[in-house]
Homo-oligomer: A and B are copies of this chain.
């Protein structure tokens, strides 16, 4: 099971860093994996409070940061002023289509675009480390309304 694997990954990371496994961290990872992707800290925090009203925002924030550091999550910004986190399958990459009406986020991957990006970077003397491609527009549903 994928969740179990990720949970072990996290525990291993904590151990390796001399950090501790806590009930909060377990709970946050559990809920992070259960919830859909692209959640903000606030959104995850609110979901968690329903299960554990005493959880602190700072703890959620710090734990998401831990997830990023150990490769479980990736931090994104889609221009609405707050960071969003998504679970990331290792060694995979995708870009995003974002509906400016309803906020829907669709993921895509296009090797042709990636290749052209490398080409452009190369011809400008750059060695690419990462990139960011976001397409903003109106989704099918919103257009047919």
How large, as a class, is the contact surface on chain A? 20 to 34
**With a CB–CB cut-off of 8 A, which chain B residues contact A133?**
117, 131-134
Q: Please tell me which one of the listed residues B120, B134, B138 contacts residue A135 in the complex, with CB atoms under 8 A apart.
A: B120
Counting every copy of the chain, the complex holds: 2
Are B124 and A129 in touch, CB under 8 angstroms? Answer: no
A130: Cβ under 8 A from any B Cβ? yes
Q: Contacts A139-B125, A140-B126 known; A120 to B110 CB distance under 8 Å?
A: yes
Q: Nearest 9 CB-CB pairs, A to B?
A: A125-B140, A128-B137, A126-B137, A129-B137, A132-B134, A131-B135, A127-B138, A113-B116, A133-B133
Q: Please tell me which one of the listed residues B112, B120, B130, B136 contacts residue A130 in the complex, with CB atoms under 8 A apart.
A: B136
A101 to chain B, nearest CB (A): 10
Are A135 and B121 in touch, CB under 8 angstroms? Answer: yes
